[in-house]
Structure 1
Amino acid sequence: MAGGKLSARQKMINLMYLVFIAMMAMNMSKEVLSAFGLMEAKFASANIATTDRNETLLADLEQKSEEKPEEFMIPASKAKEVSIASEKFYNYIETLKSDLLKNGEYVIDPETGKLPFEAMDKTDILDEAWFTGDRFTKKGDEVMANINSYKSEIRTILGEDIKYSKALKSFEELFSTEKESNKDGKKIEWLNYHFQGFPAIASYTKLTAMQNDVKVTEAGMMNLFLGNVLTDAVSLNKYQAIVLSDKSAFFAGEKFQGRVVIGKYAKVPPTGLSIGGQSIDLTEAIDSTGAARLDFNVGGVGEHEIDGKFTFLEDGKPLEIPIKGNYVVVPRPNSATISADKMNVVYRGVVNPMTISFAGVPDNKVSASGAGLKKGSGIGKYTMVPTSGREVAINVTATLDDGSKVSDKAIFRIKDIPKPSGQIAGQIGTAKLPRNNVEIGRIEAVLEDFDFDLPLTVTGFKIKVEGKPSVTCSGNRLNGAAKSALRSAKRGSQVQIFEIKSRSNGPAIKPASPLVIELTN
């Protein structure tokens, strides 16, 4: 406009137009800056008012938690956590605003208390502090980390409770940091979209608006906690039927006995819990419903009592609620019951070990009787020494928890001790031995494949060498006559040892089966 082949007058007129347009642009820019400043002042004023209301709501919740801890303690605790997290993030944003004023050398008017809105037109303050090329500076990363930390804290406080789902969704939308589309339709980072290239007053106002979002969030949470508690306290929809059985195990044929009550789980954090005099760690015992989960080793078979107490804080004083209950322990099914119908056998004259029990009944309430049966040491342990007859009956009686008695019995066959086998030098039945080994050897009687420890002592036997009359020996070794006959035997001839007699420390023993020995020299 001011160039070309124009007269000096026209050039002056054109120059004046340029100056005029520039002045109009400058005036409009100052108006926009002032508008941002006025908006910031409104947000700041709203933040002060909301802070006061939030403090009142929190104090109200804390008061109610003292008056009715079973209904208000947990919501008040959550509200306190929200308040702490929000205040921390609010104060962090305040440091960002202070840094912006300091780096721009902006000073609040001491008389009006206002910012120099029209002078806050610099765009490079946050650009240099938060951004470098297409990445964030260390400070920019710090800003995003604090925003995400605040969001994470609120998520954790609200948890997965369904009644907080809508509030959590609104919170996520309010503090969304997803990428935004710029005027060219290109996706850019949230921080760049909202703060890069803006005048200082615009960024300052946005930070104050973010503080307002924090205060509004805090207020919403306070009302949410208070409103949900009131609904829970008066609505029967929040209650449920709870079955309380008189004991936790019943025998087949017994009648179920118990109670059904209408109640709800108290989501009030207790201050103490003990079972059987042992203190329970509350951090691990209390679940999300407010119920306490018990985890301890049960006692022996039979009925046991649970005795303990819950301790709560009410009106500033400890309130103890007794815990009373019982449970029944039945034997763990760790083995199958397998029996051969024809193998219920006991042996005459020896100590037969037995285990006798009644499923689900403790040992001290079980009694057993039978000929030769005695109670041993240990749970369910007995011994039996049958003497006469071919059968013995064992009768068992158990006393149940209600005082009634049940009985059962089993029949066992009585068998004699089996016939032992003759043995010399560890060989049974037939053997090949040098003449000298037979002469100095010891004759033994052994019970093969017999499950009882029943040692036998040989008391006498007869020996027959080919071509010689039989010789009777006492004890378990050859006498002089037997040795003389043995020495006259030829190599390869057979020597028979028979009518081997023995005794035990209990029953009479049949003569052992004979030995046939072939001489090897």
Structure 2
Amino acid sequence: MSIPKEPRQLMINLMYLVLTALLALNISAEVMNAFFTLNKGITQSNNIVENTNQTLLANIQKQADAYKNEQNDKYLAAAKDVKKTADDFYQYVENLKGELFDAAGGPSESDPEKPKRIKDKDVTTRLLVGLENQPGKGFDLENKISETRAKFEELVNKDPAVLAAMPLSLDEEAVKKSDKKNWVEYNFLQMPVAAVFPILTKIQNDARASSTTALNYLLGKVAGEDIKFDAFEPVVSASKGYVIRGEKYSADVFLSAYSTSAGDNTRISVNGANLPVENGKATYEATTSGIGTKKYTVKIDVVNPLTNETKSYSKEFEYEVGERSVAVSAEKMNVFYIGVDNPVAVSAAGISSNELSVSISGGGGSIKKVGSSNYIVNVTTPGECRVNVSGGGLRDSKPFRVKRIPDPIARLSKSSGGAMGNGEFKAQGGVGAFLDNFDFDATCTIQGFTLVYVASRQDPVEVINAGARYNDASSRLVQRAKPGDIYYFDDVKARCPGDNVGRPINSMVFKIK
């Protein structure tokens, strides 16, 4: 523009330029803050995955202790190694994030959880990419990812299906298609500090998710994919463990993990009395009288057909004799969910279902009969409710928790983050909400999200999208996708049956390859 001669007009033009710059800085700061919001969401996801891994390892330990043998000991040791490898890698990246935080000026005075220079691109380049003849720590990270991946592969015996499900890897194809020299430059060269934190946290998430895949594989092994009949234990299978006074107690007594031809080589006795053995099992019957706990001892003698050696196994069992009682069971989960039909089965020992009166109290609930002993419960208020049963001289009630439907998982196609091909990414029409491992017929919908587009060496661009499908602004950003670009889906909100308002769910990060 031409330079005005009058001082007043010159001052107005300068103020306009300053205002424009301030507005640009303000928008940029908001986008930078969005990176840390995204980083926080991924960190929370990491914590959930870690809890899952701890549960898986505990289950592997439990199975290995229950079925003690050399093979299971090997799988248990591998599981512990998987967990330690993932933990060591996670801490390594955590330390690297700490170095980046300090290099970016340490805690900000306005928000100590963020560093001072969140927009600085030189800090990340110096620390992670490095200077001439002095490689940065990004190369150590690259090697660490390769080593950790190789360790996981070794611990799962390079099972192809398991390896394909492990997200921790170096996307070399994406690097080749980009204008960057290597993986480190592809991920960190001239990237703002704020954008690098969620990238590093996502790498931590990939490591923990990969360890989850490995632990699931090892749990399947130690739980008995390859069954060997090298141990014996008496097992009682009773039609019911609680009987009414005067009724007959009936139970099948058999040798666990033994073939149906075991009858010729097996002797079974209960309290010293021999029982006839047929197809490897015997039936024990006793008429009940008094109320209370009844105990009996089972002894099984097994003759080895090759050595004629006899081994004996003995164990005490018990059952309960009691009066009439009510059983109320949720058929899908031991909880009632708001917004869906909750099937319930109600029965009472010794009482016809036609004599029973069933009602519900609390939880804003209602109940209706749909079969001889089947009911549908609908609830509206979180907390607790009680199913009340009366009839035939019996009165009882059973408590149930009332909860919202679990949070759905936001996905593009079948992925909730990571690397995605350029064509596949552009082909998606929006974000979907999926209820994983939820037994009820329920559908959640996406109410909206914030889409942040980060192209290499360009400032991030942010749009707000209402609804699940892309609006025009989001579609334009998506169609700009090219290898190396990063897309952040933040502030994702979904609404499920029974919800009055939308709820926040997981964020997503995609790198275009």
Relative to the length of structure 2, the TM-score reads 0.41
* Structure with bigger RCO (C-alpha 8 Å, 6+ apart): 2
Please say which structure displays the higher CA radius of gyration: 1
